[in-house]
Structure 1
Amino acid sequence: MTDELRRLLRETARAHQPDRARMLARVERGTARPGAAPRPRDHGRARALTWPKLVLATLATAGTLTVSALTVVAVVHTPDPPRSPTAAAPSDAGRTAPPAVGSRTEDGPLWADGSVDPHSNAYWAQSNVTLKAGESLTALVVELRIALTEGVKDTGSWRTRPAADFDLSTREEGGFLVYRWTLKPGRTVPAGEHVFAGQYDHAVGGRDAKDDTYRIDAGAGAGAAEGGAAVWGGFA
Protein backbone atom coordinates (compact mmCIF):
# COMPACT_ATOMS: atom_id res chain seq x y z
CA MET A 1 0.00 0.00 0.00
CA THR A 2 1.48 3.40 -1.07
CA ASP A 3 1.80 6.45 1.18
CA GLU A 4 -0.77 8.21 -0.98
CA LEU A 5 -3.33 5.46 -0.34
CA ARG A 6 -2.63 5.55 3.41
CA ARG A 7 -3.17 9.28 3.39
CA LEU A 8 -6.43 8.89 1.48
CA LEU A 9 -7.71 6.26 3.94
CA ARG A 10 -6.86 8.44 6.94
CA GLU A 11 -8.65 11.41 5.40
CA THR A 12 -11.68 9.26 4.65
CA ALA A 13 -11.80 7.89 8.21
CA ARG A 14 -11.89 11.43 9.58
CA ALA A 15 -14.95 12.37 7.53
CA HIS A 16 -18.13 12.67 9.64
CA GLN A 17 -20.63 12.02 6.81
CA PRO A 18 -19.53 9.03 4.70
CA ASP A 19 -20.01 9.49 0.93
CA ARG A 20 -19.28 6.17 -0.77
CA ALA A 21 -19.33 7.54 -4.32
CA ARG A 22 -16.85 10.29 -3.44
CA MET A 23 -14.54 7.84 -1.70
CA LEU A 24 -14.54 5.44 -4.69
CA ALA A 25 -13.57 8.32 -6.94
CA ARG A 26 -10.70 9.33 -4.66
CA VAL A 27 -9.42 5.75 -4.47
CA GLU A 28 -9.45 5.50 -8.27
CA ARG A 29 -7.53 8.75 -8.61
CA GLY A 30 -4.93 7.48 -6.14
CA THR A 31 -4.38 4.21 -8.01
CA ALA A 32 -4.28 5.69 -11.51
CA ARG A 33 -0.86 5.79 -13.29
CA PRO A 34 0.60 9.30 -13.70
CA GLY A 35 -0.22 10.74 -17.12
CA ALA A 36 -2.70 8.03 -18.02
CA ALA A 37 -5.85 9.23 -19.71
CA PRO A 38 -9.02 8.71 -17.74
CA ARG A 39 -11.11 5.81 -18.92
CA PRO A 40 -14.78 6.31 -19.72
CA ARG A 41 -17.17 5.10 -17.04
CA ASP A 42 -19.93 2.65 -17.73
CA HIS A 43 -22.46 0.92 -15.52
CA GLY A 44 -20.98 -2.51 -16.14
CA ARG A 45 -17.55 -1.41 -14.95
CA ALA A 46 -19.04 0.26 -11.87
CA ARG A 47 -20.65 -3.01 -10.94
CA ALA A 48 -17.49 -4.99 -11.67
CA LEU A 49 -14.87 -3.14 -9.65
CA THR A 50 -11.66 -5.07 -9.32
CA TRP A 51 -11.29 -6.68 -5.92
CA PRO A 52 -8.36 -4.47 -4.72
CA LYS A 53 -10.41 -1.32 -5.28
CA LEU A 54 -13.51 -2.88 -3.76
CA VAL A 55 -11.54 -3.91 -0.67
CA LEU A 56 -10.05 -0.45 -0.31
CA ALA A 57 -13.46 1.18 -0.65
CA THR A 58 -14.98 -1.18 1.88
CA LEU A 59 -12.16 -0.56 4.33
CA ALA A 60 -12.52 3.19 3.91
CA THR A 61 -16.28 3.06 4.51
CA ALA A 62 -15.88 0.74 7.52
CA GLY A 63 -13.19 2.98 8.96
CA THR A 64 -15.39 6.02 8.72
CA LEU A 65 -18.35 4.25 10.30
CA THR A 66 -16.15 2.93 13.10
CA VAL A 67 -14.82 6.38 13.93
CA SER A 68 -18.36 7.81 13.94
CA ALA A 69 -19.67 4.99 16.14
CA LEU A 70 -16.83 5.40 18.62
CA THR A 71 -17.51 9.13 18.77
CA VAL A 72 -21.19 8.53 19.61
CA VAL A 73 -20.33 5.91 22.24
CA ALA A 74 -17.81 8.23 23.84
CA VAL A 75 -20.45 10.97 24.15
CA VAL A 76 -23.33 8.79 25.34
CA HIS A 77 -21.43 6.46 27.64
CA THR A 78 -19.05 8.81 29.34
CA PRO A 79 -18.25 7.13 32.70
CA ASP A 80 -19.72 8.70 35.83
CA PRO A 81 -17.17 10.71 37.82
CA PRO A 82 -15.78 8.91 40.88
CA ARG A 83 -17.74 9.43 44.06
CA SER A 84 -16.32 11.82 46.57
CA PRO A 85 -15.32 10.10 49.82
CA THR A 86 -17.50 12.59 51.68
CA ALA A 87 -20.58 11.27 49.88
CA ALA A 88 -20.20 7.79 51.35
CA ALA A 89 -22.42 6.59 54.17
CA PRO A 90 -21.28 7.94 57.54
CA SER A 91 -18.87 5.68 59.36
CA ASP A 92 -19.52 4.24 62.81
CA ALA A 93 -16.01 5.28 63.79
CA GLY A 94 -16.04 7.47 66.87
CA ARG A 95 -19.56 6.50 67.85
CA THR A 96 -19.92 5.05 71.30
CA ALA A 97 -21.97 1.88 71.44
CA PRO A 98 -24.29 1.47 74.45
CA PRO A 99 -22.81 -0.77 77.12
CA ALA A 100 -23.92 -4.39 77.01
CA VAL A 101 -26.39 -5.33 79.75
CA GLY A 102 -25.15 -8.29 81.73
CA SER A 103 -28.09 -10.29 83.09
CA ARG A 104 -28.62 -12.12 86.35
CA THR A 105 -32.19 -13.36 86.41
CA GLU A 106 -32.01 -15.62 89.46
CA ASP A 107 -30.62 -15.12 92.96
CA GLY A 108 -31.76 -16.96 96.07
CA PRO A 109 -35.57 -16.77 96.30
CA LEU A 110 -35.80 -14.32 93.39
CA TRP A 111 -36.34 -14.89 89.66
CA ALA A 112 -37.13 -12.11 87.16
CA ASP A 113 -37.66 -11.38 83.49
CA GLY A 114 -38.15 -8.24 81.38
CA SER A 115 -40.45 -8.13 78.35
CA VAL A 116 -42.36 -5.69 76.16
CA ASP A 117 -46.08 -6.31 76.55
CA PRO A 118 -47.68 -7.84 73.42
CA HIS A 119 -50.45 -5.21 73.54
CA SER A 120 -47.91 -2.47 72.71
CA ASN A 121 -48.46 -0.71 69.37
CA ALA A 122 -46.86 1.75 66.94
CA TYR A 123 -47.50 4.73 69.27
CA TRP A 124 -47.46 3.35 72.79
CA ALA A 125 -45.73 0.58 74.74
CA GLN A 126 -45.70 -1.16 78.08
CA SER A 127 -42.61 -2.79 79.57
CA ASN A 128 -43.22 -5.57 82.09
CA VAL A 129 -40.92 -6.75 84.87
CA THR A 130 -42.08 -10.14 86.08
CA LEU A 131 -40.92 -11.23 89.54
CA LYS A 132 -41.20 -14.69 91.04
CA ALA A 133 -40.58 -14.90 94.79
CA GLY A 134 -39.81 -18.24 96.36
CA GLU A 135 -40.79 -16.90 99.79
CA SER A 136 -42.48 -13.92 101.41
CA LEU A 137 -40.50 -10.68 101.00
CA THR A 138 -40.31 -7.98 103.62
CA ALA A 139 -38.22 -5.56 101.60
CA LEU A 140 -38.44 -4.93 97.86
CA VAL A 141 -37.30 -2.29 95.37
CA VAL A 142 -38.17 -2.69 91.68
CA GLU A 143 -36.57 -0.26 89.22
CA LEU A 144 -37.44 -0.06 85.51
CA ARG A 145 -35.33 2.13 83.20
CA ILE A 146 -36.67 3.02 79.75
CA ALA A 147 -34.16 4.61 77.36
CA LEU A 148 -35.33 8.04 76.20
CA THR A 149 -35.56 7.21 72.52
CA GLU A 150 -37.50 9.59 70.28
CA GLY A 151 -40.93 10.52 71.63
CA VAL A 152 -40.72 8.53 74.90
CA LYS A 153 -43.03 10.08 77.50
CA ASP A 154 -44.54 8.61 80.67
CA THR A 155 -48.23 7.69 80.46
CA GLY A 156 -48.60 5.72 83.68
CA SER A 157 -47.69 2.50 85.49
CA TRP A 158 -49.27 -0.38 87.35
CA ARG A 159 -48.46 -3.50 89.39
CA THR A 160 -50.34 -6.62 90.40
CA ARG A 161 -49.82 -5.84 94.11
CA PRO A 162 -51.95 -3.21 95.91
CA ALA A 163 -50.89 0.37 95.11
CA ALA A 164 -51.08 1.28 98.80
CA ASP A 165 -48.20 -1.13 99.57
CA PHE A 166 -45.66 0.84 97.51
CA ASP A 167 -44.13 4.25 97.15
CA LEU A 168 -43.82 5.05 93.42
CA SER A 169 -41.50 7.57 91.83
CA THR A 170 -41.25 8.42 88.12
CA ARG A 171 -38.52 10.68 86.76
CA GLU A 172 -36.09 11.25 83.88
CA GLU A 173 -32.49 10.56 84.80
CA GLY A 174 -29.31 10.12 82.74
CA GLY A 175 -31.11 9.53 79.45
CA PHE A 176 -33.73 7.18 80.93
CA LEU A 177 -37.32 7.32 82.09
CA VAL A 178 -37.09 5.66 85.51
CA TYR A 179 -39.92 3.95 87.40
CA ARG A 180 -39.22 2.83 90.97
CA TRP A 181 -41.51 0.91 93.29
CA THR A 182 -40.42 0.67 96.92
CA LEU A 183 -42.24 -1.58 99.37
CA LYS A 184 -43.42 0.43 102.35
CA PRO A 185 -42.17 -0.51 105.83
CA GLY A 186 -44.35 -3.10 107.53
CA ARG A 187 -45.76 -4.42 104.23
CA THR A 188 -44.93 -7.77 102.67
CA VAL A 189 -44.99 -9.36 99.24
CA PRO A 190 -46.15 -12.96 99.38
CA ALA A 191 -44.42 -15.80 97.56
CA GLY A 192 -45.61 -16.14 93.97
CA GLU A 193 -45.51 -14.25 90.68
CA HIS A 194 -45.89 -10.47 90.53
CA VAL A 195 -45.71 -7.95 87.67
CA PHE A 196 -44.55 -4.30 87.67
CA ALA A 197 -45.11 -2.30 84.46
CA GLY A 198 -44.22 1.12 83.04
CA GLN A 199 -46.29 2.67 80.23
CA TYR A 200 -45.12 5.32 77.77
CA ASP A 201 -45.68 6.92 74.39
CA HIS A 202 -42.96 6.80 71.73
CA ALA A 203 -42.32 7.94 68.16
CA VAL A 204 -44.46 6.32 65.48
CA GLY A 205 -43.16 2.90 64.45
CA GLY A 206 -41.49 -0.02 66.14
CA ARG A 207 -39.35 0.93 69.13
CA ASP A 208 -36.11 -0.91 69.93
CA ALA A 209 -35.96 -1.82 73.65
CA LYS A 210 -32.34 -3.03 73.57
CA ASP A 211 -31.14 -0.29 75.97
CA ASP A 212 -33.95 -0.71 78.53
CA THR A 213 -33.07 -2.39 81.84
CA TYR A 214 -34.56 -3.47 85.15
CA ARG A 215 -33.21 -4.28 88.61
CA ILE A 216 -34.83 -5.84 91.69
CA ASP A 217 -33.44 -5.82 95.22
CA ALA A 218 -35.29 -7.82 97.85
CA GLY A 219 -34.96 -9.16 101.36
CA ALA A 220 -36.85 -11.77 103.34
CA GLY A 221 -36.01 -10.41 106.79
CA ALA A 222 -35.65 -7.16 108.67
CA GLY A 223 -33.40 -4.46 107.17
CA ALA A 224 -32.88 -2.83 103.79
CA ALA A 225 -33.56 -4.68 100.53
CA GLU A 226 -29.98 -4.05 99.39
CA GLY A 227 -28.75 -6.53 101.97
CA GLY A 228 -30.64 -9.43 100.37
CA ALA A 229 -30.94 -10.91 96.87
CA ALA A 230 -30.69 -8.93 93.63
CA VAL A 231 -31.56 -9.69 90.01
CA TRP A 232 -31.32 -7.58 86.86
CA GLY A 233 -31.47 -7.74 83.08
CA GLY A 234 -32.70 -6.19 79.85
CA PHE A 235 -35.47 -6.32 77.24
CA ALA A 236 -33.55 -7.06 74.00
Structure 2
Amino acid sequence: MATNILSTANPFLLPSSSSSPSSSPSLSSATLTHVHHHIKCSVKRQLTLCKAVNQTALPTLTKRDLSISFFTSFVLSLAGKGCLDANAAILEADDDLELLEKVKKDRKKRLEKQGVISSSTKETGYLQDVVYKLSEVGQAIENNDLSTAGSVFGRGKDTDWVQKANIALNKLSSSPEEKSEADTFSSSIASLISSVSQKDVESSKLAFVSSASAFEKWTSLTGLVAQLKGL
Protein backbone atom coordinates (compact mmCIF):
# COMPACT_ATOMS: atom_id res chain seq x y z
CA MET A 1 0.00 0.00 0.00
CA ALA A 2 2.84 2.36 0.88
CA THR A 3 4.36 1.73 -2.52
CA ASN A 4 1.15 2.68 -4.31
CA ILE A 5 0.80 5.99 -2.39
CA LEU A 6 4.34 6.96 -3.14
CA SER A 7 4.00 6.11 -6.83
CA THR A 8 1.03 8.52 -7.24
CA ALA A 9 2.57 11.42 -5.31
CA ASN A 10 3.21 14.78 -7.05
CA PRO A 11 6.69 14.57 -8.61
CA PHE A 12 7.70 18.12 -7.76
CA LEU A 13 7.51 17.28 -4.08
CA LEU A 14 10.36 14.78 -4.45
CA PRO A 15 14.00 15.89 -4.36
CA SER A 16 15.75 16.09 -7.71
CA SER A 17 18.80 14.14 -6.59
CA SER A 18 18.80 10.52 -5.60
CA SER A 19 19.23 9.67 -1.97
CA SER A 20 20.62 6.67 -0.40
CA PRO A 21 18.27 4.03 0.96
CA SER A 22 19.41 4.66 4.46
CA SER A 23 18.85 8.46 4.51
CA SER A 24 15.45 10.28 4.97
CA PRO A 25 14.21 12.32 1.99
CA SER A 26 14.40 16.10 2.41
CA LEU A 27 13.32 19.14 0.35
CA SER A 28 15.81 21.79 -0.62
CA SER A 29 15.17 25.52 -0.18
CA ALA A 30 15.03 26.05 -3.91
CA THR A 31 12.37 23.38 -4.26
CA LEU A 32 10.18 24.94 -1.55
CA THR A 33 10.50 28.35 -3.16
CA HIS A 34 9.47 26.92 -6.53
CA VAL A 35 6.37 25.22 -5.06
CA HIS A 36 5.28 28.37 -3.22
CA HIS A 37 5.64 30.47 -6.36
CA HIS A 38 3.64 27.94 -8.39
CA ILE A 39 0.70 27.92 -5.93
CA LYS A 40 0.66 31.74 -5.67
CA CYS A 41 0.52 32.19 -9.46
CA SER A 42 -2.25 29.64 -9.82
CA VAL A 43 -4.44 31.35 -7.20
CA LYS A 44 -3.80 34.78 -8.73
CA ARG A 45 -4.84 33.58 -12.20
CA GLN A 46 -8.12 32.13 -10.82
CA LEU A 47 -8.99 35.36 -9.00
CA THR A 48 -8.30 37.43 -12.10
CA LEU A 49 -10.50 35.15 -14.23
CA CYS A 50 -13.44 35.31 -11.72
CA LYS A 51 -13.24 39.10 -11.62
CA ALA A 52 -13.34 39.34 -15.42
CA VAL A 53 -16.37 37.04 -15.62
CA ASN A 54 -18.27 39.00 -12.95
CA GLN A 55 -17.59 42.29 -14.69
CA THR A 56 -18.82 40.91 -18.01
CA ALA A 57 -21.97 39.12 -16.72
CA LEU A 58 -23.20 41.77 -14.29
CA PRO A 59 -22.82 45.30 -15.68
CA THR A 60 -23.06 48.08 -13.13
CA LEU A 61 -26.39 49.96 -13.13
CA THR A 62 -26.47 53.49 -11.84
CA LYS A 63 -29.43 55.12 -10.10
CA ARG A 64 -30.02 57.15 -13.25
CA ASP A 65 -30.21 53.96 -15.37
CA LEU A 66 -32.73 52.42 -12.95
CA SER A 67 -34.83 55.60 -12.94
CA ILE A 68 -34.96 55.73 -16.74
CA SER A 69 -35.89 52.04 -16.96
CA PHE A 70 -38.69 52.40 -14.37
CA PHE A 71 -40.07 55.55 -16.04
CA THR A 72 -40.09 53.88 -19.48
CA SER A 73 -41.92 50.82 -18.13
CA PHE A 74 -44.45 53.06 -16.36
CA VAL A 75 -45.16 55.08 -19.52
CA LEU A 76 -45.56 51.93 -21.60
CA SER A 77 -47.94 50.43 -19.05
CA LEU A 78 -50.07 53.59 -19.09
CA ALA A 79 -50.10 53.60 -22.89
CA GLY A 80 -51.19 49.95 -22.95
CA LYS A 81 -53.93 50.60 -20.38
CA GLY A 82 -55.13 53.57 -22.42
CA CYS A 83 -55.45 51.41 -25.54
CA LEU A 84 -57.37 48.74 -23.64
CA ASP A 85 -59.70 51.35 -22.13
CA ALA A 86 -60.32 52.87 -25.55
CA ASN A 87 -61.10 49.49 -27.12
CA ALA A 88 -63.41 48.63 -24.22
CA ALA A 89 -65.22 51.94 -24.64
CA ILE A 90 -65.72 51.29 -28.37
CA LEU A 91 -67.08 47.80 -27.74
CA GLU A 92 -69.37 49.10 -25.02
CA ALA A 93 -70.68 51.81 -27.33
CA ASP A 94 -71.37 49.21 -30.05
CA ASP A 95 -73.24 47.04 -27.55
CA ASP A 96 -75.30 50.01 -26.44
CA LEU A 97 -76.24 50.84 -30.04
CA GLU A 98 -77.25 47.24 -30.75
CA LEU A 99 -79.32 47.12 -27.58
CA LEU A 100 -80.97 50.44 -28.47
CA GLU A 101 -81.83 49.19 -31.95
CA LYS A 102 -83.30 45.99 -30.51
CA VAL A 103 -85.42 47.98 -28.04
CA LYS A 104 -86.69 50.17 -30.87
CA LYS A 105 -87.60 47.17 -33.01
CA ASP A 106 -89.36 45.42 -30.14
CA ARG A 107 -91.32 48.57 -29.31
CA LYS A 108 -92.31 48.98 -32.95
CA LYS A 109 -93.54 45.38 -33.08
CA ARG A 110 -95.57 45.84 -29.90
CA LEU A 111 -97.20 48.98 -31.23
CA GLU A 112 -98.03 47.25 -34.51
CA LYS A 113 -99.45 44.28 -32.62
CA GLN A 114 -101.56 46.54 -30.41
CA GLY A 115 -102.84 48.31 -33.49
CA VAL A 116 -103.84 45.04 -35.11
CA ILE A 117 -105.55 43.80 -31.95
CA SER A 118 -107.35 47.09 -31.39
CA SER A 119 -108.75 46.96 -34.92
CA SER A 120 -109.72 43.30 -34.60
CA THR A 121 -112.59 43.49 -32.16
CA LYS A 122 -114.51 40.82 -34.07
CA GLU A 123 -111.63 38.32 -33.79
CA THR A 124 -111.19 39.19 -30.13
CA GLY A 125 -114.85 38.29 -29.61
CA TYR A 126 -114.26 34.93 -31.30
CA LEU A 127 -111.41 34.22 -28.92
CA GLN A 128 -113.47 35.21 -25.89
CA ASP A 129 -116.07 32.67 -27.00
CA VAL A 130 -113.30 30.02 -27.13
CA VAL A 131 -112.55 30.66 -23.45
CA TYR A 132 -116.19 30.07 -22.50
CA LYS A 133 -116.56 26.95 -24.69
CA LEU A 134 -113.35 25.35 -23.41
CA SER A 135 -114.48 25.99 -19.83
CA GLU A 136 -117.77 24.11 -20.51
CA VAL A 137 -115.96 21.21 -22.19
CA GLY A 138 -113.41 20.99 -19.36
CA GLN A 139 -116.10 20.78 -16.67
CA ALA A 140 -117.99 18.11 -18.60
CA ILE A 141 -114.85 15.99 -19.14
CA GLU A 142 -113.92 16.33 -15.47
CA ASN A 143 -117.34 14.87 -14.59
CA ASN A 144 -116.88 12.12 -17.21
CA ASP A 145 -119.88 13.57 -19.01
CA LEU A 146 -118.76 13.25 -22.62
CA SER A 147 -122.29 13.69 -23.93
CA THR A 148 -122.41 17.26 -22.64
CA ALA A 149 -118.90 17.88 -23.97
CA GLY A 150 -120.01 16.59 -27.37
CA SER A 151 -123.00 18.95 -27.39
CA VAL A 152 -120.64 21.93 -26.94
CA PHE A 153 -118.81 20.93 -30.10
CA GLY A 154 -122.05 20.46 -32.03
CA ARG A 155 -120.98 19.46 -35.53
CA GLY A 156 -117.49 18.67 -34.48
CA LYS A 157 -114.60 20.49 -36.16
CA ASP A 158 -117.08 22.19 -38.48
CA THR A 159 -118.92 23.83 -35.61
CA ASP A 160 -119.10 27.60 -35.86
CA TRP A 161 -117.05 28.66 -32.83
CA VAL A 162 -114.21 26.25 -33.67
CA GLN A 163 -113.89 27.59 -37.22
CA LYS A 164 -113.99 31.21 -36.02
CA ALA A 165 -111.35 30.43 -33.42
CA ASN A 166 -108.95 29.14 -36.08
CA ILE A 167 -109.63 32.22 -38.24
CA ALA A 168 -108.80 34.58 -35.35
CA LEU A 169 -105.66 32.67 -34.38
CA ASN A 170 -104.31 32.71 -37.93
CA LYS A 171 -105.04 36.40 -38.44
CA LEU A 172 -103.48 37.62 -35.18
CA SER A 173 -100.40 35.36 -35.29
CA SER A 174 -97.32 37.18 -36.57
CA SER A 175 -94.21 35.59 -35.03
CA PRO A 176 -93.08 31.99 -35.67
CA GLU A 177 -93.76 31.14 -32.03
CA GLU A 178 -97.32 32.45 -32.22
CA LYS A 179 -98.00 30.56 -35.44
CA SER A 180 -96.60 27.38 -33.90
CA GLU A 181 -98.93 27.62 -30.90
CA ALA A 182 -101.87 28.39 -33.18
CA ASP A 183 -101.14 25.21 -35.16
CA THR A 184 -100.83 23.23 -31.94
CA PHE A 185 -104.22 24.47 -30.76
CA SER A 186 -105.85 23.60 -34.09
CA SER A 187 -104.51 20.02 -34.09
CA SER A 188 -105.26 19.54 -30.37
CA ILE A 189 -108.85 20.73 -30.63
CA ALA A 190 -109.37 18.32 -33.54
CA SER A 191 -108.05 15.45 -31.38
CA LEU A 192 -110.31 16.57 -28.53
CA ILE A 193 -113.38 16.52 -30.74
CA SER A 194 -112.48 13.04 -32.01
CA SER A 195 -111.87 11.66 -28.50
CA VAL A 196 -115.12 13.08 -27.18
CA SER A 197 -117.10 11.64 -30.08
CA GLN A 198 -115.55 8.22 -29.38
CA LYS A 199 -116.41 8.47 -25.66
CA ASP A 200 -112.75 8.03 -24.70
CA VAL A 201 -112.44 9.77 -21.36
CA GLU A 202 -108.67 9.47 -20.90
CA SER A 203 -107.82 10.61 -24.42
CA SER A 204 -110.31 13.47 -24.05
CA LYS A 205 -108.60 14.64 -20.89
CA LEU A 206 -105.17 14.61 -22.53
CA ALA A 207 -106.43 16.39 -25.64
CA PHE A 208 -108.23 19.00 -23.54
CA VAL A 209 -105.06 19.82 -21.55
CA SER A 210 -103.08 20.15 -24.78
CA SER A 211 -105.69 22.44 -26.35
CA ALA A 212 -106.04 24.68 -23.30
CA SER A 213 -102.26 24.94 -22.84
CA ALA A 214 -101.66 25.91 -26.48
CA PHE A 215 -104.40 28.54 -26.36
CA GLU A 216 -103.06 30.03 -23.12
CA LYS A 217 -99.50 30.19 -24.48
CA TRP A 218 -100.73 31.83 -27.66
CA THR A 219 -102.64 34.55 -25.77
CA SER A 220 -99.52 35.22 -23.66
CA LEU A 221 -97.32 35.60 -26.74
CA THR A 222 -99.74 37.93 -28.52
CA GLY A 223 -100.57 40.00 -25.43
CA LEU A 224 -104.25 39.12 -25.55
CA VAL A 225 -104.20 37.35 -22.19
CA ALA A 226 -105.01 40.61 -20.40
CA GLN A 227 -108.00 41.32 -22.66
CA LEU A 228 -109.73 37.95 -22.38
CA LYS A 229 -111.80 37.09 -19.36
CA GLY A 230 -111.60 33.72 -17.65
CA LEU A 231 -107.94 32.92 -18.37
Q: Structure 2 length as normaliser, TM-score? A: 0.24
Larger fraction in strand: 1
- Kindly name which structure, 1 or 2, has the bigger radius of gyration based on alpha carbons: 2
Q: Structure 1 length as normaliser, TM-score? A: 0.24
Larger fraction in helix: 2
Q: Which has the higher contact order (CA 8 A, sep 6+)?
A: 1
